[in-house]
A and B are shown apart, each in its own frame.
Chain A
Amino acid sequence: MANGNTVAENFYHQSTNKHKGILSWLLTVDHKRIGLMYLVSVLTFFLVGVIIGILMRLELIAPGKQLMEAQTYNSLFTLHGVIMIFLFIIPGLPAVFGNFFLPIQLGARDVAFPRLNLLSWYVYVVGAILALVSLFLPGGPIDTGWTFYVPYSVRSTTNVSLAIFAAFILGFSSILTGINFVTTVHRLRAPGMSFFKMPLFVWATYATAWIQIIATPVVGITILLVMIERAFGVGIFDPALGGDPILFQHLFWIYSHPAVYIMILPAMGVVSEIIPTFSRRTIFGYRAIAMSSLAIAFVGYLVWAHHMFTSGMSDTARWIFSLLTFIVALPSGVKVFNWVATMYKGSIDPKPQFLWVMKFIFLFSIGGLTGLVLGSLATDIHVHDTYFVVAHFHYVMFGGTGTIFFAALHYWFPKMFGKMYNDRLARIAVALYFIGFNMLYFPKFILGYMGMPRRYYDYLPQFEPLQRISTVGSWILAGTIFFIIGYLIHALVKGKKATSNPWGGVTLEWHIPSPPPLENFKEIPTVTHEPYDFSQLKEMKNE
């Protein structure tokens, strides 16, 4: 299959339409090009989010006013949250790597609905533009925090309506992607690709797509109700008219907690791809990992109210939600133990991609274990709404999904672009990222434990040393991110040409040339092997 790869025969040179240049991208229905368009847009907004984060850390380098007014700070932490969550981390892995690799790993020529796929990218862009426009219109940028809690979001005079409409639109994009992926998995598996021969990244993306379909409409209607409330004063959430603000919190978290699993599940899928490849050993407990993705997707629905332990619920409700929260740790633990067991007696090749994954397991475990501290009632009351929570979700989301975003980028870069990057620079980046990350976020655990509340513009003098360490960490981390993007762009221009299988992977994407041709496969392959059967490697070399 890998033979006959002439220079022009890859999807960069073949178009799905008649146009050339930029239009051949903007009007494309090729899932690989759409994946790359998502990559560019998602990375752009990620960098905007990073810069906002740096500005906030600069403001917090010392007590009192440093750079900006308190109101500006309120807007910045809201924007940081909205951009990082709705524009980076939710679409990050599924829309970029899911789009690019899901059809290839299934042995399909494209997703089930290619035009819908392009539409969802446009919907994403429209949502992003609306979010940006809301910053500059009179009224000022939104200052409610990314959770849009009522009644403040109904009363704030800033551009709340436009910003949450943007979030609504982005949710729509997410739903369309989810529908597309579920249908693709059901309808376009290659002959022989039974459900239990699918690579685990596909399983994870499949579970994610279901959450996108089931959870997103609920937050969609909730924020639509906030908009209607602001426009017409209907009274649904406004206590002055009989509404109930706690109801908003319930509806919001019914989506936004499962959304956490939209963010983390694909990352776990990528981990399940990278570990076997660099251990040269089939994954341990394939079915357990596949099923635990579905279990996480399911249990993730039943825990939303653990965000509201201090909002005033009955004790019964609180301990039930606390108990259910602990249950999520089980399928997550199943995954971690299976990953570690895969490495046991494997022939481990500690390439940078593998090191990224090791770092993920370390950071994610810290994030997960501190999650248990927050999930138990007594300790949550103490650290609720403090920096402890901020540190926890940055360890889970950024240390988990963010780290894996870079791991996936390093793992699949040769396949996507057909170029190799410098191995040594990648190793340096792994180390710097680790140092910067822990310097930035670990002090926040301690600060939170000491009582520093989140979202505050100013703080007491005794918090200054730790805040300062955190700010210095933010410089190292941000510097590393720009460093990574720098050497990857350099590799794009000057990198050595990649072979079709530089890492010795065996899933279907490594059977085709790098970069892949348009429509991926000359002939749809027939799948006979288990997904991580490394005995194929010899045959693949002979192809």
Chain B
Amino acid sequence: MSSHQEGTVAHVHRDDVGAKMGMWLFLFTEVLLFGGMFLVYAFYRFQHQDQFRIAAMELNTGIGTLNTVILLTSSLTVALAIAAIQKGNRFLSVLMLNITLVFAVMFMVNKYFEWSAKISHGLFPGSKEMLDLPNGQILFYGLYYVMTGLHALHVIIGVLVLSFMLIQLMKKKITQDNHVKLENAGLYWHLVDLIWIFLFPLFYLIQ
């Protein structure tokens, strides 16, 4: 490789395959993180099948469906942003990334309305109404808040990461032949989408 020089300049090393491998390993740990909670969900669903069904009826399938559509579409736009920069079309890439961010914010706004409706009905952990419910329903709502909450946290982190990528893209730090950062951010966003695809049927559709 290059000759070694004395002084402070470190050896420049770039390995896109390695960078993506690291990202996939990280996503793997994320899947395991949520996997722990899916295990808890499966266990309690098995124990309290009827109560889970009754509690699930209270969830707003309309908003859930809308959010699913929004997230799936945002996954498409982020993929288009990557495809655009690969073809050297920076303008289109910036546009697509902006659309992705708008979708992410829409998702969070819907989430806000959904949660605040639940909370105004007194359905939140520790509330009086909640403690009167049977154990199975308490667990359902507990898991609902924890799992969709942690997912929402990932959406927020995703927004931060994608915004950072947007700045990098506009500053021309991400280019046609150096876009692995954007690809990794895209992979993360697809994971956020993927987890939602599992959360949506488990909480909203199985009734």
Contacts and interface: CB of A to CB of B under 8 A. Distances in A.
Count chain A CB atoms within 10 A of each CB in B15, B33, B134 and give the residue with the most. Answer: B33
A247 B43 contact: yes
Contacts of B135: 235, 241-242
A187 B18 contact: yes
A519 B21 contact: no
A180 B25 CA distance: 9
B142 A180 contact: no
Contacts of B7: 14
A330 interface: no
Interface stretch (A40-48, A213-221, A362-370): A213-221
Count chain A CB atoms within 10 A of each CB in B13, B36, B134 and give the residue with the most. Answer: B36
Contacts of A187: 15, 17-18, 21
Nearest to A241: B138
B25 A182 contact: yes
A110 B13 contact: yes
A213 B29 contact: yes
Interface stretch (A53-61, A225-233, A502-510): A225-233
B11 A109 contact: yes
B172 to A, nearest CB: 21
B18 A112 contact: yes
A524 B19 CA distance: 21
Given A236-B146, A247-B43, A222 B36 contact: yes
A455 interface: no
A218 B1 CA distance: 41
A523 B3 CA distance: 7
A220 B13 contact: no
Contacts of B6: 9, 14
Interface in B110-145: 125-126, 131, 134-136, 138-139, 142-143, 145
Interface string A1-19: 0000000010000111110
Contacts of A214: 28-29, 32
A432 interface: no
B171 interface: no
A522 interface: yes
A213 B28 contact: yes
B66 interface: no
A302 interface: no
A244 interface: yes
B201 interface: no
Contacts of A186: 18, 21
A234 B146 contact: yes
B136 A16 contact: no
B130 to A, nearest CB: 9
A358 interface: no
A220 B33 contact: yes
A242 B125 CA distance: 13
Nearest to A219: B36
A193 interface: no
A180 B22 contact: yes
B30 interface: yes
Interface residues of B, number: 43
A175 interface: yes
Contact of B126 (A178, A188, A221, A232): A232
B35 interface: yes
Interface in A447-498: none
A236 B126 contact: no
B164 interface: no
Count chain A CB atoms within 10 A of each CB in B4, B28, B143 and give the residue with the most. Answer: B4
Given A180-B22, A244-B43, A251-B36, A234 B125 contact: yes
B91 interface: no
Interface residues of A, number: 49
A224 to B, nearest CB: 8
Nearest to B1: A524
A389 to B, nearest CB: 26
A216 B131 CA distance: 33
B48 interface: yes
B124 to A, nearest CB: 8
B35 A218 contact: yes
A242 B139 CA distance: 7
B146 A228 contact: yes
A311 interface: no
A183 interface: yes
A519 B4 contact: yes
A233 B127 CA distance: 10
Contacts of A319: none
A179 interface: yes
A233 B22 CA distance: 36
Contacts of B194: none
Interface in B19-67: 19, 21-22, 25-26, 28-30, 32-37, 39-40, 43-44, 47-48
B10 interface: yes
Nearest to A247: B43
Nearest to A251: B36
A241 B139 contact: yes
Interface string A157-189: 000000000000000000100111011001110
A263 interface: no
A305 to B, nearest CB: 14
B8 A15 contact: yes
Nearest to B22: A183
Given A183-B25, A187-B18, A234-B142, A16 B8 contact: yes
Q: Which 9 A-B pairs have the closest CB atoms?
A: A242-B135, A234-B142, A221-B36, A187-B18, A217-B32, A217-B33, A232-B125, A233-B126, A16-B10
Given A178-B25, A251-B39, A519-B10, 10 more contacts: A14-B6, A14-B7, A16-B8, A112-B15, A113-B22, A218-B32, A234-B142, A234-B145, A236-B139, A244-B44
17 contacts: A14-B6, A112-B18, A187-B17, A187-B18, A187-B21, A220-B36, A221-B34, A225-B146, A233-B126, A234-B146, A236-B142, A242-B136, A242-B138, A243-B139, A251-B36, A519-B4, A524-B1
Interface of A: 9, 14-18, 29-30, 109-110, 112-113, 116, 175, 178-180, 182-183, 186-188, 213-214, 216-218, 220-222, 225, 228, 232-236, 241-244, 247, 251, 517-519, 522-524
Interface of B: 1, 4, 6-8, 10-11, 13, 15, 17-19, 21-22, 25-26, 28-30, 32-37, 39-40, 43-44, 47-48, 125-126, 131, 134-136, 138-139, 142-143, 145-146
